A and B are shown apart, each in its own frame.
Chain A
Amino acid sequence: MSATLEVRNLRTHFFTRAGVVKAVDGVSFTVGRGKVMGLVGESGSGKTVTGFSIIGLVDAPGRVVEGEILYQGRNLAKLSEEEMRSLRGNRIAMIFQDPMMTLNPVLRVDTQMIETVLAHEKVSKEEARQRARDALGMVGIPSPDERLKSYPHQFSGGMRQRVAIAIALLHRPELIIADEPTTALDVTIQGQILAEVQKLAANTGTSLIWITHDLSVVAGLADDIAVMYAGRVVEDGPVSEVLDRPLHPYTHGLIGSVPSRNKRGEPLRQIPGMTPSLLKLPAGCAFRARCPRADEACLAEQKLEELLPGRHARCAHPHKDEVPA
């Protein structure tokens, strides 16, 4: 399997007045060609910062302090801003949770889309418009010719997100980083967008990193999954295997707390406590304080190790030989 992107030991830290926040602290994963990789975690787990680090959008006081982001043999973390700009929006695109982060409210959609095309390619304006039109059609926007002339506020939330996805698709990127793109949408609209995305990934061979907190979305969409906790990947592997047989107690607990996994009316299995502050992470396993399996062994630093073929977990006491949650 040839990989589109390989992230090795990525560390992105924020140097704030209160101290160093290790938002991403040693993250490694691989995204295969044409594959959908689900990056799952709760708020503050560093999943969004990981996405921003890949596409080079980490602002001060944050900085990628260590690690490699390998794309076609080049380390994105070491590229100059100019080189990065020629890739961003061209070979690697991003979709944000809020489409208004992508769209300029005072410009018509066609202006913005044509600008995006011309930023990376020397084509005529007419051809650029044609490309924009096709992209809108591809994401299922009815009457794309008329919609090109609309302003963002004239679209509904779901339609705006489609426009943002269309812009990401303009240059047929090899990798799209999608940061919670359907979280703010209603379920029926979310279903529509997910269906479009699935179709696109299958038809164009684009790889996707799908950042979300919603395990159910990842279950239906992704090929592989990486679960993050407090700035680190605690478990990864093929989606079905990770969800059916989670190794890490955190993944185990997370899956167990999904309401549909519990008997109706019975108390939900819950993970006690809350996510630790990234400013003062305990030494060793960060999940230690909330983990039912923790003991002295967890005080030591844990490594992400291959415990089963193709399955990695960062745990001293993994759920290795057990039936699913």
Chain B
Amino acid sequence: MATEIDRLILKFQNKDTLAFEKLYRMYADNICGVINVIIKNPERSQELCQDVFVKVWEKSASYTPSKGRFFTWILNIARNMAIDELRSKSHKNQKQNLNTITFVDIVTQSEDLDNTTDTIGVEALLKGLKEKCVLLIDLLYFKGYTQKEAAEEIDVPLGTIKTRLRACISAIRKKFGL
């Protein structure tokens, strides 16, 4: 059963630029958001986000639906490029800040910078979320940590990561009404 987005992805893989543009409009902010959380440089994030989508276009043939969600695929490309960027000389000084600032801090900054994004209320919704939940989501979704790396980072047993993540996501869903 192919959904609208499945058809769009198929067109995109057949090098349909209109389909690609639609997908871009669907996911560009998410990708830029992730990059911004990693490199913490809004302007550079915008540039890098473009580079990510150029790469996504170039690599379109390598995406296979059975191996994961399309969003997960581009998320992975974006994280890798952002981490590469972070490791480059220009961001050496900020390297140590990678884990001390979470996406929640960036949400606050974004609201301060630009009111056009519909982040209003997100910060409020995330308030009250356990610190370990914020860290877990930050590491697993934004920063591309493995379960093992995340378990070590926030000092919890590896076997509990899955259920903790489930609980955190469920809590947010309840607040967002998703």
Q: Are the chains A and B members of one assembly?
A: no
Which residue numbers of A lie inside 8 Å of B, CB to CB? none
